Amino acid sequence: MCGEEDEGPSSLEDNLYTAFLAHARALLSDHSRTKGRDPESVNGYADALFAAALRRARSDCEAREPAERYEMLAIQPLVFARLAGFLASHLSLGEDPLRKVMEAMMHGYSEAERLGPEHGHDHDDDDLAGHHHR
């Protein structure tokens, strides 16, 4: 009715959040298949840290009421960007830290496009409880 606020997420927000869950599952499934290949390397460390941060981001969203999940998702990139800027500010300018951060951010942005609109995941122990196929 006119003047009433909608308490739940919009259809667009719900679709975006659902796509995030599917893509997060796909990336975490890929990580679980490849983890341990070279855990002592810098790349192994980076992959493990990425997976841990993604798991935390996903679980923080899922711990919220459904109407609040998209809002939680929307704030997370800002927090991670702030952290990336803080960490990069402590690197040598000769390493061009801003360029590396921007390239990594664009790589992450394009990963969702690469995963495509299909279901987007394999099942593993990392799947969320209550995830069902229709």
Least confident of 42-56, 72-86, 93-107, 113-127: 113-127
What global pTM score does this model have? 0.74
| Model confidence pLDDT, tens digit, residues 35-85 | 767 878 898 899 999 999 999 999 999 999 999 999 999 999 999 999 999
d(CA 40, CA 38): 6
pLDDT tens-place string over residues 65-74: 999 999 999 9
How far is CA 26 from its chain centroid? 11
